[in-house]
Amino acid sequence: NGFWGGPVADMGTYPLNEARMLFDAEPIEVSAHGVRTSDRDFPDTVAVTLVFPDERVAQFTAAYSTAYTESFTLAGSEGIITSSSCYDWGGDVAITWTTTDADGNSSEHRYDPVDQFAGQVEYFVDCVRAGSEPEPSGAEGLCDVRVLAAIEKSLETGESVSLEPYERSWHVSAE
């Protein structure tokens, strides 16, 4: 009743952001299918397909009704990146991933634990004090909401939802 909730709004932003940043593009079509496995008044398990320009596709599932799991796989023509610790956070949570090239050679990677929220808050406060706009800005959040709303519409209608092509001004960089 005026509030937006459920697994898509709650957890969907993380894999959505990951796909948007890795593809450096915005989805042009979404489809979503949900099921209710509890007495909630919304689908508590939702599977989403995102179609990006240049024939790229991303999929994710967000659920309240399953045991906790998190994983990520990016499969491309030159290899695979996988992670089973990619969305969790906290001062004792390390982010790890494996890259495997087309020849089957693998290497492990790791970011040491860091309190992400403390860093984000500190950065935001520094921007406010300096009078500078944070990166990413609120425009970046609007990109997420645009896609999340299309996912919700697909859930309601059972149809794929096309999105107008959109070019964002902010892009992830190594800096």
Is cis: bond before 136, omega within 30 of 0?
Answer: yes
- What pLDDT, on a 0 to 100 scale, did the predictor assign at position 146? 94
Contact in structure between 71 and 78 (CB atoms under 8 Å):
no
Whose CA is closest to 88, among 172, 14, 10? 14
Rounded-to-integer distance, Cα 21 and Cα 56, Å: 13
Q: Locate 25 and state its tokens.
A: 């593009």
- Give the sign of the dihedral formed by CA 136, CA 141, CA 143, CA 147: positive
Q: For residue 94, what pLDDT band results from cuts at 50, 70 and 90?
A: confident
> Tell me: the pLDDT tens digits for 11-63?
899 899 989 988 989 999 999 999 988 888 888 899 999 999 999 999 999 99
Q: Provide the whole-model pTM.
A: 0.84
Q: What is the mean pLDDT of the chain?
A: 88
Our measurement of the distance from residue 105's CA atom to the centroid of its chain's CA atoms, rounded to an integer in Å, reads 27
What average pLDDT does range 162-167 have in this prediction? Answer: 90
Quick check: 128 pLDDT over 80? yes
